[in-house]
Amino acid sequence: MLTLRYDEPAPDWEGHVLPIGNGALGACVFGTLGTERVQLNEKSLWTGGPGSAEPGASGNWPEERPGALDAVRRMIDERGSASPEEVAGILGNPSYSTVGHIPGFGAYQNFGELLLDVTGGFSGGYRRTLDLETAVAAVTYEDADGVVLTREYFASYPANVIVGRLTAARPGRVGFTLRFGTAHPGGEEVTAEAGRLRVRGVLADNGLVYEGQVQVLTEGGTRTDEGDRVVVTGADSAVFVFSAGTDHAPVHPGYRGPDPAARVTAAVDAAARRPYGELRAEHEADHRALFGRVRLDLGQIMPDLPTDRLLAGYEGGASPSDKALETLYFQYGRYLLIASSRPGSLPANLQGVWNASNSPPWESDYHTNINLQMNYWPAEPANLAETAVPYQEFVAGLRAPGRETARSIFGTEGWVVHSNTNPFGFTGVHDWPTSFWMPDAAGWLVRQLYERYLFDGDEGYLRGHAYPAMREAAEFWLANLRPDVRDGSLVVSPAYSPEHGDFTAGAAMPQQIVRDLFACTAEAARTLGVDAEFAGRLRTAADRLDPGLRVGSWGQLQEWKADLDDPADRHRHVSQLYALHPGTQLTAPEHLAAARTTLEARGDGGTGWSMAWKVNFWARLKDGDRALSMLSGQLRSSTLPNLWDTHPPFQIDGNLGATAGVAEMLLQSHAGVVELLPALPSAWRAGSFDGLRARGGFTVGVTWTDGVPAEVRLTSARGGTARLRGPGFALDLETRAGESYALSPAR
Ligand code: FUC
């Protein structure tokens, strides 16, 4: 049973609400008695960007700074390092240091709340659930007379509406007043007409226009408009359909499109004409078509317990109820990705699509020094490729502003983005010393574009979408690598290891990212039969490039080119292991051993996403027990009652990264072979899964006992050889496109 369940209304937003969403729209269900709260989001409702009251929206240097970069490089050449504060003083744009935020960057906004003052009272029987298989949230309880009342909510992607329905076990018992709880007082107008609330506003900061409409429909009883609210009395049941939009458009440089009113009206009109059952059936079919692709059975038995108690009682052992939480958590990550990322909208941000604040942590933005990328780690392996389309389009959309930043700050071709970005193409810099600089982020972002091709083999996508972005990111580095004054190898300088240490030349992560970028880009050019000369230049540069893989004095993988690592360092970013995961270039036995030493030293703590990353690291090191103990640690210390990951505060990357980690424990395919059960923990001795994807166009299922595959099921999308490897066997299976195979390797 893949259901989150609670015996109480959400006492507050973070950690207790039940999230539903269709990518563009999100809603958080409180399930409160008396006044029900359904908090709303529209993913493009952002302050900042063009039109913002604050200047500096791109992060590019407002003036030319001839020689600034070279001055920093010289400082590093002479002294070996430069402090983040020094470098931010030379290369940054004064922002954090002067006003405490990035001028013009903006923040993701709360859309407001639907408030339903429900009549009838309460006498008991309360339950609040979120069914991951149908993507329906529900609240049931008995009113003062013991009549069972039910509320149901879902976010339909095909209809682009959020739908709620209130029913009662006895006719005439549904009554409520629906009103809008503003998050932007003074900036909007709310009207009610013919059972429809209309909210229209303009953000004071940047003039962004937004609109939301909610239509109330009733069976029986009466429905009346009263000013800015709709009142329902004595109904048998009632339905509301909500939609919203803004005039944001993902188009550089203006980032504005048509007024949302017509679109919102059309969506609400269309949904309001259809029977509830039909809307719900369409939603359920749409959701199941994605969610239902992966099944995971570890021998779990879901106890009859609310999810918060299940979580509180979790021991990280091998009990069927611990496994119930582990499988639920894995599938919840898939649910959250579907709900927060569907084609036609922005990608999932730091909180997916859910945000109840106008000044959320880190602006609820797109952090590109790991967080945005991590959000999409599960998309391909956990069989949700469609959910990554917003990511792919977003990254493509960063090229135009990123090109301007490359010219402004570096004076070269190519495109860059640094540590964080927003829906308005912020690709430049601020001056928060520990996270303002990361020109290598683009290389990391495009690797994940290439991953899609590795999974599905779609050459049209590679040619038209991924490769141009990869090529332009690689061009940037061809123009920006420097010979190291010490050994002549090509290095990134200034180089920074995310949020850690000093600026140096040739830090491990940037070197590994650039090396990987050059390799993937050259390989893609070969696949496409294009740019032979350019690919040749990439290979030549790659030969001279410092690979960023060095074993240090205590056996660790060095984070910097000099041996500076402190064995007592517990920093959450383990950037020097990029080549282990998500990269693939850390394969030599001595490097694998060093990676293990580094992970041991960094310890099993960390913020939510850091622990999730470590699940993936240990899975790549083929240590299933350590991977599971990381996952258990995350469940015990970084998971809120509604199973949202907490950094703290709530941050969705940890959820999504952990789901990717579980997939990585069960199936890996980054090294040219399809590895079954590569990191199976001893606690998962028997089990089965279906629907995980491997590179090469394979969908794989395995049933195992005592850690050994008893049956392998494989469907091939494109044909070709599936080089299957697993405990005790190796088999090269010739496949045909569209065919399915079942094998019993043990026999
Ligand atoms: C990165 C991390 C922080 C936080 C922020 C949103 O900068 O280092 O821990 O997750 O992103």
Atom of ligand 1 nearest to the CA of 435: 7
Which atom, in ligand 1's list, is nearest to the CA of 653? Answer: 10
Q: How far apart are CA 512 and CA 572, in angstroms?
A: 19
Domains contained in the chain, CATH given? 3-47+111-292 (2.70.98.50), 68-101+387-577 (1.50.10.10), 669-747 (2.60.40.1180)
- Is 362 a pocket residue for ligand 1 (Cβ < 6 Å)? yes
Which of 72-76, 95-99, 521-525, 720-724 has the least mean pLDDT?
95-99
Please, where are the H alpha helices in 563-652?
589-602, 608-620, 624-637
**pLDDT value at 289 more than 90:** yes
CA torsion angle for 466, 469, 474, 477 (degrees, to 10)? -150
pLDDT at 100: 84
Atom 8 of ligand 1, residue of closest alpha carbon: 499
In the Cβ-directed half-sphere of 376, how many Cα atoms lie within 13 Å? 32
Cβ of 367 closer than 6 Å to ligand 1, yes or no, is yes
Query: Does residue 580 register a pLDDT over 80?
Result: yes
Q: Residue 79 C-alpha to ligand 1 middle, in angstroms? A: 29
Distance 647 CA to ligand 1 centre (A): 8
Average pLDDT over residues 307-334: 97
Span 188-207, pLDDT tens digits: 999 999 999 999 999 999 99
pLDDT tens per residue across span 527-549: 999 999 999 999 999 999 999 99
Mean pLDDT of 308-330: 97
Distance in angstroms between the alpha carbons of the first and the last residue of the chain: 33
pLDDT surpasses 80 at 129 = yes
| pLDDT at residue 107 tops 70 | yes
Phi, psi for residue 477 in degrees, rounded to 5: -75, -30
- Predicted pLDDT of residue 441: 98
Residue 451, pLDDT above cutoff 80? yes
For residue 98, the model assigns a pLDDT of: 83
Amino acid (1-letter code) at residue 188: E
Q: Which residues contact 515 (CB under 8 A, 6 or more apart)?
A: 542, 545, 547, 548, 579, 585
Strands (E), 169-228: 174-181, 188-193, 196-202, 209-219, 222-226
Residue 747, pLDDT score: 54
696 CA to centre of ligand 1 in angstroms = 33
For a substitution probing ligand 1, which of 105, 355, 362 has the most ligand atoms within 8 Å of its CB? 362
Residues 176-184: what's their mean pLDDT? 98
Query: 352 CA to middle of ligand 1, Å?
Result: 15
Q: For residues 289 and 248, what is the distance between their CA atoms, to the nearest angstrom?
A: 29
Tokens representing 417 are 């983005």
pLDDT of 391 reads 98
What tens digit of pLDDT does each residue of 2-40 get?
999 999 999 999 999 999 999 999 999 999 999 999 999
Atom index in ligand 1 nearest the CA of residue 651 equals: 10
- Residue-wise pLDDT for 64-89, tens only, equals 999 999 999 999 999 999 999 999 99
Is the model's pTM score more than 0.85?
yes
Q: What are phi and psi of 617, to 5 degrees?
A: -60, -50
HEC assignment per residue over 246-271 = ECECCCCCCCECCCCHHHHHHHHHHH
Going by pLDDT thresholds of 50, 70 and 90, the confidence category of residue 746 is: low
- CA–centroid distance, residue 371 to ligand 1 (Å): 7
- Ligand 1 atom closest to 362 (CA): 6
Residue 607 beta carbon below 6 angstroms from any ligand 1 atom: yes
Tokens of 594: 């060093």
Cβ within 8 Å of residue 529, ≥6 positions away? none
CB atoms within 10 A of CB 647: 20
298 vs 289: CA distance, rounded Å: 23
- 728: confidence class by pLDDT, cuts 50, 70, 90: confident
What is the CA(334)–ligand 1 centre distance, in A? 22
pLDDT exceeds cutoff 90 at 56:
no
pLDDT value of position 99: 85
DSSP string, 682-714: GGG-SEEEEEEEETTTEEEEEEEETTEEEEEEE
pLDDT average, residue stretch 268-292: 98
| Residue % of the chain over a pLDDT of 70 | 100
Q: How far is the CA of 615 from the centre of ligand 1 (A)?
A: 18
pLDDT at position 57: 84
652 lines ligand 1 (CB under 6 A): no
Q: Is 727 helix (H, G, I), strand (E, B) or coil?
A: coil
pLDDT score for 392:
98
Give the C-alpha separation, 192 to 325, whole Å: 44
* C-beta of 516 in contact with ligand 1 (< 6 A): no
Task: Name the average pLDDT for the chain.
Answer: 97
Q: How far is the CA of 662 from the centre of ligand 1 (A)?
A: 22
Q: What percent of the chain has pLDDT over 90?
A: 97
Tens of pLDDT along 216-272?
999 999 999 999 999 999 999 999 999 999 999 999 999 999 999 999 999 999 999
What distance in angstroms lies between residue 592's CA and the mean position of ligand 1's atoms? Answer: 26
